[in-house]
Structure 1
């Protein structure tokens, strides 16, 4: 018999629980955690610290997924081009972008090989949590380098190798098979791939301790309840959540509300991050 503290609630049960004003939603806490780490800086219009977005920018978001980066840039009035293999993602984001002040927009369904965009076109290129899914990351990076103008900035993130390897003993094997994560990038390896594509690495960082532990707990809870958890994890961030994950979220959300926790968060994001991040630049010709 599954104990109550492990039983997955129905969506209606979870929504009723979330009506409590003291309840902390994983998505909201995750966003606050990301902002604290440098993402989505509304005051300075930086998608990530050191990666500013201006209305005059042409931003290409490759592997746009749910579209968070695209929409941040669109709300700054930029020209946004968002690319994904999933046509439904493109259709949904197109509707959302239409409600922003983006000066121009285009959705592209593509596997990036090649990208159907002109060379020397973009001033900002974004690739978040995408390269681990593709057959030839070096070739995709060359395509990303090709479409950027001289001086263009690049924001590239992939799952961190330390935490990917940590999950191997308890995540389902399919999580590390197509169409999921088929590459694990060591930090220096990713930087070398970016340099080999013809880009200059400007800054390297990492973040996501909260989501790293959240996903680890998710795999364990799923296995405890169902025996074999499903392999695709990106839907796991949608409610309802296991009670234990709500407990972890509440603990972390209250902890990071303390100013004194900031240095601890930075240390944990460096030691056990969910993602590694590179800001790079295309050299001036």
Structure 2
């Protein structure tokens, strides 16, 4: 099942899923990477629903949309939107990511699209330029998230839908016992959002929350095993970390991925996953709506 999914999707960013109606997984595959299992875990939780065009359940993208992906990274959200026929605007602070993603977008889309290298305020985009706005695992890197959030709201049209995610505090605090100090310094995680603070940030910016979820136990444990493996190997853990985790993975991470995949096919495995996701989530997600000019919701 995982290999079939990977033929349809690019590698996904660290996900932020929630309990939904989920299919029965197929048997364990012997040679799967942590990233493969993380993608499988995300799909089970409602991400990348090709049949309905939903990037996440409740966040549908159509050919009539213009999607703005702020902090696009490898571009999983942008490319999903391209496959739905939408126009895309994607921004990142790293030139190489924008360049590489731009090449993929150009190869797959004949619509007007725009890639920008930027991490400054204000962002160089017009008011109301997007009908769908995505900003995932970005706000925790921002020294002043309130004006940044205001920028996101400015760029959404009246009635625009927003998909936002940040790390959940339980996983962040747990990693403080093993991650390097640089993980919590610029350009890495300089903010830790409680659920209350995250919701207040969104609502104070003028958006109305439609859906919330917090999951990703697999990745919390995966990160802990990653830090332990790096420390045991005596590797330098300084500098930016968001691109550090890639193949070849530490053997401990690969063993954990096999264990998690095996859990999912056991009787009651999916229910156990949901309990653990709620107990120790990696990320928290909000889907929110920008009101119309008269204050009503679409």
Normalised by the length of structure 1, the TM-score is: 0.89
The one of 148, 152, 157 equivalent to 1:144 is 152
Mean CA deviation greater in 226-235 or 67-76? 226-235
Contact 2:131 2:160 in 1 (8 A): yes
Other-structure match for 2:245: 237
Q: How does 1:1-285 map to 2 (within 5 A)?
A: 22-101=30-109, 103-226=111-234, 229-258=237-266, 260-285=268-293
Rounded Cα–Cα distance in structure 1 between residues aligned with 2:46 and 2:179: 28
Q: Give 1:39 shift.
A: 1.2
What's the secondary structure of 2:244's corresponding residue? Answer: helix
Structure 1's 108 and 120: CA in aligned 2 closer, same or farther, altered over 3 A? Answer: same
Give the superposition deviation at 1:241. 1.1
Quote the offset at 1:273 in angstroms: 1.1
Give 1:109 shift.
1.0
Rounded to whole Å, the distance in 1 between the matches of 2:164 and 2:249 is 29
Aligned residues: 265
- Whole-angstrom distance in 2 between the partners of 1:232 and 1:259: 40
| Cα drift, residue 228 of structure 1 | 5.1
RMSD: 1.4
Cα offset, 1:234, TM superposition? 2.2
Partner secondary structure for residue 89 of structure 1? helix
Shift of the 141–135 alpha-carbon distance from structure 1 to 2, 3 Å rule, reads same
- Aligned 8 A contact 1:54 1:78 in 2: yes
Q: Deviations over 1:197-233 (max 9, x none)?
A: 1111111101211111101111011111206534533
Deviation, 1:254, is 2.2
Conserved 8 A contact 1:112-1:143: no
User: Matches of 1:281 and 1:80 in 2, distance apart?
Assistant: 19
Distance of aligned partners of 1:93 and 1:228 in 2 relative to their CA distance in 1, 3 Å threshold = closer
Name the SS for the 1:99 alignment partner: helix
Q: Give distance in 2, aligned partners of 1:112 and 1:185.
A: 21
Gaps of 5+ in 2: 1-28, 294-298
Q: Which runs of 5+ in 1 are unaligned?
A: 1-20
Compared with structure 1, are the counterparts of its residues 228 and 90 closer, same or farther at alpha carbon in structure 2 (3 Å cutoff)? closer
**Change in 2 beyond 3 A, CA 1:114/1:72:** same
Q: Deviations over 1:155-203 (max 9, x none)?
A: 0001111110111111100100001000000111010010111111111
CA contact (8 A) 1:206 1:275 kept: yes
Equivalent pair of 1:58/1:124 in contact (CA under 8 Å): yes
- Could you tell me whether the CA contact under 8 Å between 2:30 and 2:258 is conserved in 1? no
SS of the aligned residue for 2:107 comes to: coil
Q: Pick closer, same or farther for the CA change 1:114–1:259 going to 2, 3 Å.
A: farther
Check the 8 A contact 1:27/1:237 in 2, yes or no: no
